[in-house]
Homo-oligomer: A and B are copies of this chain.
C-alpha cells in the first residue's frame, strides 16, 4: 500500500488552516514566521518559496529577510536578536545551508528556543532527549505523523533507521525509542560505518532510510511486510524526461514495493509532510 504523503499533508494543512483562523482571531493578528535566507543557493530558494506558499495557504504571515552571501556573523546575529525581541514574531527559521564562512551551529544558538520552529537549538534538542519535547524538527515530526495516520503502532516493534543526521535520523531514533505517544520501539541506528547493513534492514518491521544516496536500500534488503519510509530525494539523470532528470528516494522503489506492506513514494511521501509540520510548529510557537 502506498503511503500518500501528499494527501495526508493536504489534510493536515486543512486542519491547520482552521486552527490558525482561531489563533488569528485570538491574537488579533496572524501567526508570524520569519525566514532568514543568506545568499541564493538554488535549492534553498525553492524550499523558501515553498515554505512561504504554505504559510499563505494556512494563514500564517511569512516574512523573508534576505542577506547577501557575504553577510557577516554580526549582521545575522543582530537580525536574529531583533526578531527575538519582537513580540509579534512567533517563529524564526534560519534557512540552511549557510555560506561557508558562517557557522550555522553558532548562529542557530542565537535563536530564542521559544521561537526555534526548526527545533535545532541545543535547548530544544535537550528537551527532546529528556522526553519533554517543545519543537521537534519538521522531518521527524512528519514521519511520525505519517505513521500515526496510517494506524501503525510502534510499541515493541523493530525499527531500523539508516542515517544519523541531526535533523532526521538522530532525533527520530530518540523519539521512537522513547516513552512518548506511539513510541517504545526497539530502535537501531545505522549509518555509513555499519557493517552488513542488510543484517539490520532485513529484520526491520519499520525501515526508515535517510542517507542522501539513491539505492541505499533495495527489495532484497527488506523484510516481507515491512513498512518503508523513504526520506531521500535525489536527482538522477533520465533522458526520457524533458528536464533530463527525475527524482528518486534513497530506496529502490520498484523492488522495495514488492516486499513492503506500506511504502512512501518519492516524491509525494515524506517531502510534503515536512512543510506541513513546519506550519504546525509555527502554530505551536504562538502558544509559547
Residues on A close to B: CB < 8 A? 105, 121-130, 132, 155-158, 164, 166, 170, 173-174, 177-178, 184-191, 193-195, 199-200, 203
Contact = CB atoms under 8 A, between A and B. Distances in A.
A169 to B, nearest CB: 9
4 closest A-B pairs by beta carbon, nearest first, are A126-B126, A122-B126, A188-B188, A125-B126
Q: What is the count of identical protomers in the complex?
A: 2
Contacts of A166: 129-130
Contacts of A157: 195
Contact of A184 (B127, B128, B187, B191): B191
Nearest to A176: B189
Nearest to A203: B199
Nearest to A205: B195
Contact of A193 (B105, B184, B203): B184
A78 to B, nearest CB: 23
Contacts of A164: 177-178
Given A122-B127, A184-B191, 8 more contacts: A122-B126, A125-B129, A128-B129, A129-B129, A155-B193, A187-B188, A188-B189, A199-B203
Contacts of A170: 129, 174
Contacts of A105: 130, 132
A152 B158 CA distance: 27
A186 B189 contact: yes
A157 B123 CA distance: 31
Contacts of A185: 193
Nearest to A125: B126
Contacts of A199: 203
22 contacts: A105-B132, A122-B127, A122-B130, A123-B126, A126-B127, A126-B129, A129-B129, A130-B166, A155-B193, A156-B195, A157-B195, A158-B195, A170-B174, A173-B189, A174-B174, A177-B191, A184-B193, A186-B188, A186-B189, A186-B193, A186-B194, A186-B200
